[in-house]
Every structure is written in structure tokens, then in C-alpha cells.
Structure 1
């Protein structure tokens, strides 16, 4: 399973995840819950611990960068030995040190907050583990993959009972309006989020609010604070001891504080569309009417994109419109490259339908552009050249047979392994003699030939032949990309062979060097082709 659960903030995505986790743990497997911030991870840990407190056999743990090395090592061992059933954490869960005993489910909360590299790691789980992705406003590429059927998706569109829409007001920054909004919330016994895009201005805002509200408990929260300080601040705010929390968008993801029903967002033009929607969703989680006040410095200073974002947010004022907002975001930014790293892009400029028409047309021509590599061991080099290493070089090497076997083993792996071996050899023993260079060149030729589908290389007089499985189309693409005109003009494609007619018959060492240069140029064309 690889399913996207798309639902508005507070609509029950976490509840769906909890039930899926229970099913997996009941079947004797482990579940991993991945959150983008330590604040949200801690909240998930508390909710899951409380929910499964009646089941003494279910062990839950929280893993994050704020823990000591000893604590982490203990948890790593428990995870590997299967002593933990549910592991909650941030990006630390994606580290190579975390080895699971029997992972059955991966829950990714606030998917839009993770970067490409983390998603590549998450994708590596999908072949063997069920993946449940939760998001109120999925990024454009994720949304389009769901809409086109590349990924399964479920939409939660029913709001909780008694939930009322958040009243959103957008205006230029005004101190009187700001103080009035905070006073209104405090007078009715509520709490206030005050969000800024950067850490730099938090203390200035705190000083201003302390002057305006001297008897009110005010605190600051951001990601650069020590873990204990941040944890204590969030706990005090959750318990109602702190009335105004001045913070960055660290509170964007998943926080559920029922008594906080007003949010102030300053410099709104510096936030993304999904960020603003998520921030607005931090309030209005109870049956009280919530208010979101969005302030910008001056409308004349805003870019066209910022104005588009604000207009879209103003339109999506009703409950359950996170999905529509994500669609608007996709239309504005494009959905990026489906098979690459770019998560947004200007696909809108050519139109979605035309883009996919071009995509599927290109995919239908894959066979014309593919290179089928062959096993390294199957490549034959029939050049009748067998160099003998000089005795003084053999004596100089610590273990000659081990080094030569190491070179062969590196060549069997891949071209990068062989290059690394050569570099290490030269670093340890200096530049190799001519006979060792010939030996290495034979390995390079064989390795590169295997990568581009050449099974045999031979020489007959002035003619060099290379038996291959590549098509004439691929041969033309490769030779057109060659930088050396001499090599390009000497190669011809004949049936299942690439042939080269030299001007004269070369000595074997020079012939190997010519073949090495020619094969290296062909090999350099691989990134432009589809390799199987």
C-alpha cells in the first residue's frame, strides 16, 4: 500500500493512522511514525502512548536529535531486536543506523514538509512496507501523482461536528488592529499564536507585547532553542499557563491546542500557500469561533506571486478546502518532474494535457534509446596483449597478487569502484609503470564495454571490431555526442558490430590506448540514454 490521506486540518487523518497502526502492531509487526518537527513528533508520541496505554504489550518510543547518544543507542538496539512496536520520530528515523526487525507500516505526517532526499529514503521502503502519507495540503507533485493514479489517495471531506469556519482577515500591518485582536481573544479566556517568518524579530515583538499587555504571560518558541526549553514552553502553552506564544512556523504542523483560537501572522508574504493554510489550521479546533489575522507590510511591495497566494487563501475560507487550495497551488506553481527531483515546475505554461501527451509519447520510444549492459565476465578482449610487470615493481608492492585481484574485483563492481582503486593505488605506490598501466587499461576497457553492451573486442590487421547488442539508433546518438571527430568518423555500424578502419596497423600497446579512448568517449554518452 502507498496511499495519500488528504484531509483538512483537524478532520481526523491522525485517527485513521492510529487505527492502521493498531492493525499492524496486532499482526506482530513494527510501525514507524515520521513527523517533520520535534514538536509534532512529541505530540504524536503523547497521543499514541495515551491511546495504547491499556495494551501493556505494545511498546512506544520517541526518537529525535535532542536525545543523548546513549539513549539513541539503546533505542537503536531495541528497534533492531524487535522490542519496540511503535517508533515515533523526526528525520532521525531515516538514518542508516536505524535497522528494523519487522517493519510493517510507515506513517508520514505532513508530507509536504519533507525534502527530496528524505522522500527518496521514504520511497525505498515502499517495495516491502505499507506507506500511509498524511497531508492537508500536499505539494503539487504529490497531488498530481494522486490525481493521475500513480498513487492511491483518499479524501476526508466531512468536518467534525460543531466545527465552524475560521474568520480570516487580511490587511496591512497596523498596531491598533493587532492589539485589538489579541485583547478580544484574551478577554474571552483564550490564547494567541503570534507567528513570524524569521527568528530575528521574535524578541522585538515580545518587548512590544509585554509593554501592551504587562500582566499577560508571553513566551517565545523557535527551532534553535534547547530541547528542554522548547518542550517546557510548549507544555506551558498547552496547559494554558502561557497566553501568547510568539513563534516561527515550528508550530505549523499538527499541533492541537483547543483553547488557542486566534492566530496573528506577520509578514504573510514571506510564507508559502500551504504554510499559511497549515498555520491558520492551528486555531479553530474547538467549538469556538476562531480568528486568523494576516498582516503584510504594504500591498504595493508584494510580488505577483505573493498576491496570487493571498487571493487563493482568501477564497478558501470554508471548512475542508485544503484539497482545493493544493489544487490552486499546483495550478500556480506546476507539478514539477514526476521522475526527477523537482517538486514544482512550470508545466502550466504548456498545459497539463499536452505535457502528459508528450510524456507518454516519449515513454513509448524507450526501446529506441536504451542501452542494455552485459555482465562484466561475458566481455572478451581479444587483442593478444599480456603485459609482464617488472620485478622491481613487484618487489615494491606489498602483496602483488592481492592488488591485481583487487583491481579485477573493483572492475567487476562498476567504473567508479575501478577509478577509486586506481586513485588509491597511485596514492600509496605512486605512478604505475607502463606494463601496469596497460593491465589497468584492459580492465577499464572491459568494464566500460560491459556498461554499453559490447560483448567482444578484437583486432584484425588495421580493422578493430566490437560485437554489441545496441541498436543503430543508439549508436548514432552516441557517435553524434562524441567530442573527438577522429574517433567519430572512423566508426561504422555493421549488423551487430561496430567497426573501425585504422590508417595503419598499430603496435598492441598503442592499439589498446586507441580503443580505450574510443570506448571512453562512447561511455561518456551514457547519461543521455536510458540504461537497463
Structure 2
């Protein structure tokens, strides 16, 4: 707190997953609006959510160091034979071993069990209750190969780079978070040799669902550059926490990301219309006259609209492109996006050309007050707001009715007993046909009187 800067221009937070919200906010208070770069192999769920929503920029470094190999990861049970084989194999190729046990009170007992498995092994023990000088000496002795195995708590999780250590065993791996497991696994395989990570767990059937998913995920995603996939799994398992507040993971897992985002956007609209009604009065009046409040329209389709794996192989890259596409707000932005895809990946596949029409369809339908657009079974159905809505006294609804009349038998209005209304167009087999219909409605809605 006593540190001051004359002119702070850039704040870099390394190993960001180790910092709490309060600590990061305290750092940012060093100067208002300071540019911030956070580094992490596995971003915490809330940080990743901010990036996926576009609130923060996200950049992936996927190129591994030269000659680096992925770490082979295996789930094992506590067995003297299995542990002896894993340690014995590493010692046979003149390597060293990390053994992680995160309970200081029982760490010496574990050391005795390891000595029973591998008689004559030289074991060093390191944990957080040792003095800094003691810990330093133990690590120096281990680096000089005075010991074969370092039995430690998670204090070695960051900053340890020992290329001669290429086997790590993690006891009670089900008790660790995904980020912790990924960081610990990263302590081995620092050189050109094949490395091994053994996750010691009870039978998966005895674990909680979340714990089982964590250890399965860390076993599955062992390729180089898999930190993003692991972080996405962590986001799915733990939830994304709060937009405002200190919770960095949490209840979003119960709602689902899309539902949470929709509720959040609705809350922002309510604040605009109620607490800041005067400030946004002109915008609200214009939207009411046209019959829409920029409806949060969803698109539902059985058409093949996607960025194919064959076109963009990397999962993380496709996720970022889907996110970027979802945020485009004009035809010009869509054209620029398509040009960048062609420049980077080549000619657009048919399903990608169709996908690029989706943001435009959603934007047109949103301005028209359409709640949902369904493109299924060669039909387009426009789902309208519930009965009693101001939409039915709007210009947008009048134009929709005139369009229905002009299409004749190709179009029909439907209403359920519950009062849900929709308009169905027959023989709409592509997004381009849907775009043509919605574009004509949009042009009629926003046409000038003299036209």
C-alpha cells in the first residue's frame, strides 16, 4: 500500500488465477484506467467469461517451446506396485520425480510409504512451514540430484523449472481444482523428454460428479496448448461467478451461460427504462413508435450453419470467432469479418456463408419486434410478443399484417389457446430466403414518408 508510481502506464499480473478480486482491484487502484495485461495458463471462470462476452480482449499463445512434448496423463489408484513402477521407470532413465501430497500433518507418513514401494530411494520433503532458507536449500540440493524424489505440497506449483524432473504423482487428485492440476502437471516435461503425470484418486464411482469431471478433463486434455479447453471445462463445471461482486465462480452453472446473459441484458434494459428514463427518453420513444425495444431475438434452425472443424481446426480459435461474429452489428462489419476469414483460412464453405447471415437475421428481426425466428422443416416461423404487448399497436405489426396478406397462401398467422401468436412462411429453405423476407419488412418499417 505504501508503493506509489510517478506515471504508471501498464500493469502486468502474472499467474492471474492466484489473485483474488480484492487483490486485483487493489493493484488497479495504483492508477485510474491503467492498461492491464493478465497472464494465466488457465484463466479463472469469471475472467474467461468476461473475455467470451467481449468485455476483455483474449489472446492465446498456442506455439509450444521447441522440442516440447505433451505430458502423458493417467488416472491410477493408490497401489504400491503401480507407484513403484512409475517411480522406478523414471529413475531407470536417470530422471527425478515430484510427488505432491498437500497435507503437511501426514506428509512424513507418505514418505515412509514411498520408501516401502521403492527401497533405497532418496526423498526430500518441502512444505510451507519450512523457513525460506530451508526451502531454498532443499530445492538446490534436489536440483543438484542429491535426492531422487521431492515430496512436497503445492508450493512447487509455480516457478519451478527442472528439466530433469519428468514424472509427477499427485495424491488425492480429486481434491484439486482443474487450474491447480494443470499448473502442477506443467512442472514436468520442461525439456525434450517424454513426461508422465499420474493422478492418484479413489474409484471414480465414489467421487462427486464435479470431482469426476475434473479428473477426467485433465486426463483428456493433455495436448500442448490445452489450457483454453481446460479453462472452458472449469467454466462449465464451476460457473462464471458474478459480473459485479467478488465471486469468481458460482451460480451460473445452475442457470446456463446463455440464460444468465439474457437475464443480465434484461436487467440493464430495466435500469435504462426506470432509473435512467430521462437520460434514454428519446431512444425509448423512437423504439416505442416503431414497435420494438430492440427485442432480444433468438434464431432456431435445423440448417447446417457453422465454422467446420475442417475449415478451422483449433477449438479455441473457433470459439473466439463465434464470439466475434455474435457481436457484429452492421453489414459492413460482417463483410470485413468474411474477408478476414478468407484471408486466413481460404474460401468460405457453404455452411459458413450461411452462418454469416445469422447476425443480420437476428438484427432485422430485433428491430421488427420478433421474439424468435425458427427456420425448420423448410418453414420460417416468426414468434411474436405475448398478447397485451404494446407491439400490437405499433407500426411494425401493421406492416407485418400487410405482408401476410400480400403473400397469400404461402403465409399464415397462427394463435394458440394460450395466446401465443406467430406468422409462418412455407417453402423457406435457406437463410437467404429468410433474409429477403425480413429485409422487405425492415425496409417498409423504416421507409421515409416521401418514399
**What is the TM-score with the length of structure 1 in the denominator?**
0.49
Task: Answer yes or no: is 1:134 the counterpart of 2:78.
Answer: no
Partner of 2:356: none
Partner of 2:4: 99
Measured against aligned partners, the alpha-carbon deviations of 1:79-101 in whole angstroms (never above 9, x if no partner) come to xxxxxxxxxxxxxxxxx122334
Helix, strand or coil at the partner of 2:222: coil
Report if aligned partners of 2:77, 2:200 keep a CA contact under 8 Å in 1: yes
Measured against aligned partners, the alpha-carbon deviations of 1:397-434 in whole angstroms (never above 9, x if no partner) come to xxxxxxxxxxxxxxxxxxxxxxxxxxxxxxxxxxxxxx
Decide which of 9, 15, 22 is 1:117's aligned counterpart: 22
Please state how far the C-alpha of 1:291 moved relative to its aligned partner: 0.5
Please state how far the C-alpha of 1:186 moved relative to its aligned partner: 1.0
Measured against aligned partners, the alpha-carbon deviations of 1:507-531 in whole angstroms (never above 9, x if no partner) come to xxxxxxxxxxxxxxxxxxxxxxxxx
Please state how far the C-alpha of 1:214 moved relative to its aligned partner: 5.1
- In 1: Cα distance, 2:204 partner to 2:165 partner: 28
Please state how far the C-alpha of 1:102 moved relative to its aligned partner: 4.0
Decide which of 256, 265, 270 is 1:360's aligned counterpart: 265
Partner of 1:50: none
Please state how far the C-alpha of 1:166 moved relative to its aligned partner: 0.9
Task: Answer yes or no: is 1:315 the counterpart of 2:220.
Answer: yes
Q: Do the aligned partners of residues 106 and 217 (structure 1) sit closer, same or farther apart at CA in structure 2, a change above 3 Å counting?
A: farther
Aligned ranges for residues 84-483 of structure 1 at < 5 Å?
A: 96-125=1-30, 127-213=32-118, 215-367=120-272, 368-369=274-275
Structure 2 unaligned blocks of 5 or more: 279-451
- In 1: Cα distance, 2:259 partner to 2:208 partner: 29
Please state how far the C-alpha of 1:152 moved relative to its aligned partner: 1.7
- In 2: Cα distance, 1:128 partner to 1:295 partner: 45
Measured against aligned partners, the alpha-carbon deviations of 1:335-389 in whole angstroms (never above 9, x if no partner) come to 01011111112213323222212212212332523799xxxxxxxxxxxxxxxxx
- In 1: Cα distance, 2:239 partner to 2:31 partner: 25
Q: Do the aligned partners of residues 216 and 102 (structure 1) sit closer, same or farther apart at CA in structure 2, a change above 3 Å counting?
A: farther
- In 2: Cα distance, 1:124 partner to 1:101 partner: 14
Please state how far the C-alpha of 1:107 moved relative to its aligned partner: 2.2
**What is the TM-score with the length of structure 2 in the denominator?**
0.58
- In 1: Cα distance, 2:39 partner to 2:218 partner: 21
Report if aligned partners of 1:194, 1:265 keep a CA contact under 8 Å in 2: yes
Measured against aligned partners, the alpha-carbon deviations of 1:309-329 in whole angstroms (never above 9, x if no partner) come to 111112202111110110011
Aligned ranges for residues 13-32 of structure 1 at < 5 Å?
A: none
Report if aligned partners of 2:74, 2:199 keep a CA contact under 8 Å in 1: yes
Report if aligned partners of 1:110, 1:135 keep a CA contact under 8 Å in 2: yes
- In 2: Cα distance, 1:211 partner to 1:327 partner: 40
- In 1: Cα distance, 2:129 partner to 2:66 partner: 38
- In 2: Cα distance, 1:331 partner to 1:299 partner: 19
User: Which has the larger displacement, 213-222 or 166-175?
Assistant: 213-222
- In 1: Cα distance, 2:143 partner to 2:277 partner: 59
Report if aligned partners of 1:196, 1:266 keep a CA contact under 8 Å in 2: yes
Number of positions where the alignment pairs a residue of Structure 1 with one of Structure 2: 277
Report if aligned partners of 1:167, 1:290 keep a CA contact under 8 Å in 2: yes
Structure 1 unaligned blocks of 5 or more: 1-95, 373-532
Report if aligned partners of 2:4, 2:30 keep a CA contact under 8 Å in 1: no
Q: Do the aligned partners of residues 128 and 359 (structure 1) sit closer, same or farther apart at CA in structure 2, a change above 3 Å counting?
A: closer
Name the one with the larger strand percent.
Answer: 1
Report if aligned partners of 2:81, 2:117 keep a CA contact under 8 Å in 1: no
Please state how far the C-alpha of 1:308 moved relative to its aligned partner: 0.9
Please state how far the C-alpha of 1:215 moved relative to its aligned partner: 4.1
Please state how far the C-alpha of 1:211 moved relative to its aligned partner: 4.6
Give the RMSD, CA atoms, in angstroms.
2.1
Partner of 1:418: none
Please state how far the C-alpha of 1:143 moved relative to its aligned partner: 0.5
Please state how far the C-alpha of 1:257 moved relative to its aligned partner: 1.1
